[in-house]
Amino acid sequence: MKTLTKEQKEYLLSKIRNVPDFPKPGIMFKDITTLLKDSEAFSFLIDHLFEYYKDKDLDFVAGIESRGFIFGAALADRLKKGFVPIRKKGKLPYTTISEKYALEYGFDEVEIHIDAFECEKENPNVLLIDDLIATGGTAKASINLINKSGANCKDACFIVDLTFLNGTKELDKNTEIYSVLEI
């Protein structure tokens, strides 16, 4: 289970574009499209995540809509595990279970199919992945959703952690957290 050197982290961080005041004033948006279009940087990151998680006892990778799908699907393929999309309310066609979470103003809701983690195992282990954790609300709701669906959110991975917002402190202590890059 290797972590990255300072130089490797700086390399990946240099590939992420900072967009000030998006989607609203005061937010510094971490734009990962500049990392994705760089084949070397994207491969380096997925290779690293594969090395980090290959010996863990995982059954599924679940990605949070929508940027979590990109990293999650690439990693699931490498790990030879199934991929489950965690979507915003109203997007999934079959019977769903959902979890609400508070936003700055109002609420949002994440959903999965009721049989998303159904397999031959009783309580399959899931790795949750997203591009970034800020306040932790989305990740917390997603972990609750996975656990209440009969699976076990064993691990959660974020490419970027905005540590000053303390998002990871909000998460279930039974889930092992790995943030690749910390800001």
Binding site for ligand AMP (CB under 6 A): 27-30, 64, 67, 130-139, 167
Q: Min. distance of Cβ 52 from ligand AMP in angstroms?
A: 20
At its nearest, how many Å lie between ligand AMP and the CB of residue 34? 12
- Per the annotation, the verdict on 67 as an active-site residue is yes
CB of 169 to ligand AMP, least distance (A): 12
Residue nearer to ligand AMP on the CB measure, 147 or 150? 147
Instruction: Rank residues 64 and 127 by Cβ distance to ligand AMP and give the closer one.
Output: 64
Q: CA nearest 157: which of 40, 16, 46?
A: 46
In terms of CB distance, is 59 or 128 closer to ligand AMP? 128
CA distance 153 to 175: 6
Catalytic residue, chosen from 67, 87, 99, 111, is 67
104 flagged as catalytic:
yes
Catalytic one of 7, 51, 65, 104: 104
| Cα 72 → chain centroid | 7
Which residues, other chains included, contact 35 with Cβ-Cβ below 8 Å and sequence gap of 6+?
12, 15, 16, 41, 42, 45
Minimum Å gap between C-beta 171 and ligand AMP is 10
User: Given the complex with ligand AMP, which of 29 and 44 has the nearer CB atom?
Assistant: 29
Catalytic residues: 67, 104
